[in-house]
Structure 1
Amino acid sequence: MKPKLCPVQPSNYATVASWPESAEATQRWAGPGVPFPLPPERFAQVLELEVRPGWALLDEQGVCVGFGQYWMTATDTAHLGRIIVSPRVRGRGLGRALMQALCARAQHEDGVQHLTLRVYRDNAAAAALYRDLGFQQVDASSTPELLFMQRTAA
């Protein structure tokens, strides 16, 4: 059985919030203004789950091993963000599974034709994964610190 993408539940908040190990890691994952540690009781509010729904990747035992969000930025465009995999299971292909599931959900459930994301330039593993999944760098929207990447739905 492969991992399954499900709407994130309050029972997952503490788990996901525990994955970033520092204030810097939290900011790189979730953006400026997100506290470290992120209190589970503030998870939904801080990550704006009401307008930017969160998705949990569950393993075969139902344990949350990944998290991500996407939100509409135009009629046919979704932006993926706050992608994270549990440090305990990194390197096992779960980041790929999470990204594939998020992209498929956005495309099939919400009719998305274009997907975008930002990734830190020094996060070589993530950037390579995104390229492998068909995302291409958009130089005009990138910064010295962040790559802006996009892909058209298959």
Structure 2
Amino acid sequence: MDHLLQPVLPAHFAVIAGWLDSPAATLRWAGPGVPIPLPADDAFAAALALPARPGWALLDADGTCVGFGQYWQTTPGNTHLGRIIVSPQARGRGLGRVLMTALCAEAVRRTASVQLTLKVYRENQAAVALYRDLGFVASEDACTPELLFMARRTA
């Protein structure tokens, strides 16, 4: 099945917000400072700081949004990936890999970064395994008991 990564559109906001089924899930995914529940209207863009942190939607062959992620430059040459999520109904089909591969490529293309970083909860073993498989390595000095800070060189 073909998938397309495109800039997130207002039509996707309610779909993505609907994937977060509790205040705890929203906090874990979006971080502190984001309203709970996550707005499903135009306030979604402001809540996730989309102008400064581009958001990308993964669409399936039917045009249905099945994934989302963001990236932002933290320092020259370094780009952080965050708020990565696959629709609960689409999980287990390899779409995390599709999303991450496309998101990484887009981030590097648009920012010319030499390093990509991300944070992941240690107990999210599927995500940790995927990120390791994609070349991300934990930087233990930056990790916490709850979170792994992972990085990957792009060149």
Name the TM-score class by shorter chain.
over 0.9
Unmatched 5+ stretches in structure 2: none
Per the TM alignment, residue 40 of structure 1 is displaced from its structure 2 partner at its CA by 1.4
Moved over 6 A (4+): none
Greater shift after overlay, 38-47 or 115-124? 38-47
Greater shift after overlay, 103-112 or 66-75? 103-112
Once residues 108 and 55 of structure 2 are traced to their aligned partners in structure 1, the CA distance between those partners, rounded to angstroms, is 16
Alignment-mate amino acid for residue 51 of structure 1: A
1:25 matched residue in structure 2: 25
Once residues 76 and 20 of structure 2 are traced to their aligned partners in structure 1, the CA distance between those partners, rounded to angstroms, is 32
Once residues 76 and 54 of structure 2 are traced to their aligned partners in structure 1, the CA distance between those partners, rounded to angstroms, is 17
Q: Does 1:35 align with 2:64?
A: no
Alignment-mate amino acid for residue 17 of structure 2: A
Once residues 91 and 54 of structure 1 are traced to their aligned partners in structure 2, the CA distance between those partners, rounded to angstroms, is 22
After superposition, the CA RMSD in angstroms is 1.0
1:55 matched residue in structure 2: 56
1:136-151 mapped onto 2 (5 Å cutoff): 136-151=137-152
* Alignment length (residue pairs): 154
Once residues 109 and 72 of structure 1 are traced to their aligned partners in structure 2, the CA distance between those partners, rounded to angstroms, is 10
Alignment-mate amino acid for residue 133 of structure 1: L
Per the TM alignment, residue 135 of structure 1 is displaced from its structure 2 partner at its CA by 0.2
Q: Does 1:70 align with 2:71?
A: yes
Once residues 87 and 80 of structure 1 are traced to their aligned partners in structure 2, the CA distance between those partners, rounded to angstroms, is 20
1:91 matched residue in structure 2: 92
Q: TM-score, normalised by structure 1?
A: 0.97
Once residues 58 and 19 of structure 2 are traced to their aligned partners in structure 1, the CA distance between those partners, rounded to angstroms, is 14
Once residues 133 and 106 of structure 1 are traced to their aligned partners in structure 2, the CA distance between those partners, rounded to angstroms, is 15
1:124 matched residue in structure 2: 125
Per the TM alignment, residue 75 of structure 1 is displaced from its structure 2 partner at its CA by 1.1
Per the TM alignment, residue 30 of structure 1 is displaced from its structure 2 partner at its CA by 0.6
Alignment-mate amino acid for residue 112 of structure 2: G
Unmatched 5+ stretches in structure 1: none
Once residues 89 and 3 of structure 2 are traced to their aligned partners in structure 1, the CA distance between those partners, rounded to angstroms, is 15
Q: TM-score, normalised by structure 2?
A: 0.96
Q: Deviations over 1:96-144 (max 9, x none)?
A: 0000001111112321110000001111111110000000000010001
Alignment-mate amino acid for residue 80 of structure 2: H
Greater shift after overlay, 13-22 or 105-114? 105-114
Greater shift after overlay, 2-11 or 39-48? 39-48
| Contact kept? 2:121, 2:146, Cα under 8 Å | yes
